[in-house]
Amino acid sequence: MALERLEANAEDAIPTCSYSLTQGPEKQQDNGTWLVTEFVLVGFSNLPELRPTLFILFLLTYLVTLSGNATIITIIQVDRTLHTPMYRFLAVLSLSETCYTLVTIPNMLAHLLMESQAVSIAGCRAQTFFFLGLGCSHCFLLTLMGYDRYVAICHPLRYSVIMRPTVCLCLGALVFCSGFSVALIETCMIFSSPFCGAGLVEHFFCDIAPVLKLSCISQLFSSLSISKSLCHCYC
């Protein structure tokens, strides 16, 4: 009996690690709240037998997307007859879409092959910032392309004056400055509070809604939902 008690006390004295493949590392504050120091992307972890197939399928789709955008950009750059505002904006749109997919797809493909799905909060913050910045810029750029067609149809005689190269360059810069300004504000709001719970992000990348579910401040969810809705209104 004495030997069994000694073995039980020894087992209780051994510290256990709170990190696993299904839960991110945490630390406890003085008030008993568990704070997340690292996220774990759930992604397709519940489909382990399909991960190789999904990797091949997504990789082929991604390569087709990249080749299509690269073809559009190359043709517009080579053919001088396409050096007009409409096709210039189309080339920028293709480049923006390529960068937009680079933010999430390569990381998702890597996680399909790796056992560890962990991502640091700083890495998640950077991914969210570029995802929102390029997404909002994409929407503003579509608006600019619509304005370009409006001027071409309604003011054909003044089109070359209104949409001259310097104006197009300034409008393009304004598009991306506006998009990344919105992204900076939203990213600061999302990551301004600590995160609690198991640290599981129910997605294959750091999207707004899954990350907000881990926030320790419940009021933050409603404020960010309004901000996200305002951004989507431009689309």
Highest-scoring range by mean pLDDT, 41-50, 175-184, 185-194, 218-227 = 175-184
User: Which residues have CB under 8 Å from 208's CB, separation 6+?
Assistant: 128, 132, 186, 190, 224, 228
This prediction's pTM: 0.74
> Looking at the predicted structure, is the pLDDT value of residue 147 above 70?
yes
Q: Are 83 and 106 in contact (CB under 8 A)?
A: no
**% of the chain at pLDDT higher than 70:** 76
Do residues 41 and 119 lie in contact, with contact meaning Cβ atoms separated by under 8 Å?
yes
Higher pLDDT: 118 or 218? It is: 118
Whose CA is closest to 133, among 175, 88, 83? 175
How far, in Å, CA of 90 to CA of 234, rounded? 18
Residue 26's DSSP bridge partners are 36
More confident residue, 170 or 219: 170
Q: Would you say residue 19 has pLDDT above 70?
A: no
- Is residue 24 pLDDT above 50, yes or no? no
Question: Taking Cα atoms as reference points, which of 107, 189, 82, 178 lies closest to residue 137?
Answer: 178
- Asked if residue 164 has pLDDT above 60, the reply is yes
Mean pLDDT of the chain: 78
Tens digit of each residue's pLDDT (9 = 90 or more) over 86-117: 999 999 999 999 999 999 888 888 888 876 67
Measuring CA to CA, which residue among 125, 130, 135, 150 is closest to residue 97? 135
- Ramachandran angles phi, psi of 106, nearest 5°: -60, -40
Q: Give the confidence band of 34 by pLDDT, cuts at 50, 70, 90.
A: low
Say yes or no to pLDDT of 156 above 50: yes
